[in-house]
Chain A
Amino acid sequence: MRALWCQPVTLLMEPVPVEKPEPDDLVDLAALYADSHIAEILTQLDRDLVGLVPVKTRIREIAALLLVESGRRELGIQAEPPSLHMCFTGNPGTGKTTVARRMADVLYRLKYIRRNHVVTVSRDDLVGQYIGHTAPKTKEVLKKAMGGVLFIDEAYYLYRPENERDYGQEAIEILLQVMEDNRNDLVVILAGYKDRMDTFFRSNPGMASRIAHNIDFPDYSADELYDIAEIMMASMHYRFDTGAVAVMRDYIARRMQQPRFANARSIRNAIDRARLRMANRLFALRDTPATRQALETITAEDILTSRVFAQ
């Protein structure tokens, strides 16, 4: 023991001389990447969200941008933080709201926003009903969203060209001012159908010029919709039996041709109705006890009774 105590400490701590650049000029992007735990979110994104390749690519790009930006900050390179106001366009049920939540997660992990929260609003939350009502209402929503993400669903409703006395314009102006002045405190995401958003931006060039990222959400293919159905079923602890798989694929193909098809939302509704029919089927047989397997399985019959097959 004594001998160890006497060891000169310097010997143990002698640095190994290695040729490398000045440590002041180095930043470990891999370590930043690991610290932010962003990889988990991106893998989760890949796992949970079917398809949506352009969306995922853009999220990766933004993540890379913010990671490099934080590396630059570490080295003391001065720059205005990038503007990250976004516009999500796409048909109903393509996952705009879901992605907005994930986006907040990504931005929070990369320390672009201070709080991991999304405030979802639509026209009614921003626009007032009489003169002088709009400004306080819009400001209150903005203050609640500060530090996080403000998600404006169906943003094109804010602008109603057919009514020149509409208060929507006032809300847009306040929104623009805060988007500019409080760029570090708030990320605004506008969402809506593609054609209507295009009209909206044409009449509000100020808004268009402040949106850095336009992300278009493509419609899902039939295969992707089936995968979505599987994920939804698994999350609710249901499964299709062998007969139901083919019927479900057939159902999706037919449903896609029908009016008011809303992508993943239609699939969710279809599953909910199938659950209803399955429950009724089991309830009719209530005299015999139901097995666990029966309670978990949706059969072809549950889907075939849908009105989609009646046409």
Chain B
Amino acid sequence: MRITQGQFSFLPELTDAEIQAQIQYALDQGWALAVEYTDDPHPKNYYWSMWGTPMFDLKDAAGVLMEILACRVARPHDYIKVQAFDSNKGFESIRMAFIVQRPDYEPGFELVRSEGPGRIIHYSIRGYANALPSCERYGASR
């Protein structure tokens, strides 16, 4: 099941040139870029791990792309996304976020129903990949 989070996730995978162009757009708006990765793409997992610190005062997208490539080498089986933070007053939040790497096989989520008192049913979703320990997900140790 293909995970759709952030921008462009219904499109085919962006090429590196396309990623660079999107990053350049964000930089031209004066936004700070950050690279993050995770092996738990649950929609409510707001806190992905940071790949280095957010990058301020950059002029050209090549610097961000360099970090993305380094992150791909270090985390070949994880999800990687790029975020653009707008520090302008009134926004002060993420203006862009898109996935730049995903595992080859995405097992998707299980819908878990748990019965409560009085025939109440609580629903939750749980990533199939989460059944494995963090270091073994998405074929990391196979």
Contact = CB atoms under 8 A, between A and B. Distances in A.
Contacts of A140: 55
Interface string A125-163: 000000000001000101110111000000000000000
B29 to A, nearest CB: 15
A148 B66 contact: no
Nearest to B55: A143
Interface in B21-59: 52-53, 55, 57-59
A115 B60 contact: yes
Interface size range on B against A: 10 to 19
B66 A147 contact: no
Interface string A166-194: 00000000000010001001100000000
Contact of B59 (A142, A146, A178, A182): A146
Contacts of A115: 59-60
Nearest to B67: A143
B139 interface: no
Q: Is the interface of A mostly helix, strand, loop or mixed?
A: loop
A143 B53 CA distance: 12
B75 to A, nearest CB: 17
Contacts of B63: 142-144, 146-147, 185
B94 interface: no
B64 interface: yes
A147 B57 contact: no
B125 interface: no
Given A143-B64, A143-B66, A136 B59 contact: no
B62 interface: yes
A186 B11 CA distance: 32
A233 B64 CA distance: 44
A178 B66 CA distance: 10
Contacts of B67: 143
Nearest to A143: B63
Q: Top 9 closest A-B pairs, CB basis?
A: A147-B60, A143-B63, A185-B62, A146-B63, A146-B62, A146-B60, A115-B59, A115-B60, A144-B57
19 contacts: A114-B60, A115-B59, A136-B53, A140-B55, A142-B63, A143-B64, A144-B59, A144-B63, A146-B58, A146-B59, A146-B60, A146-B61, A146-B62, A147-B60, A147-B62, A148-B60, A178-B66, A182-B66, A185-B60
Interface of A: 114-115, 117, 136, 140, 142-144, 146-148, 178, 182, 185-186
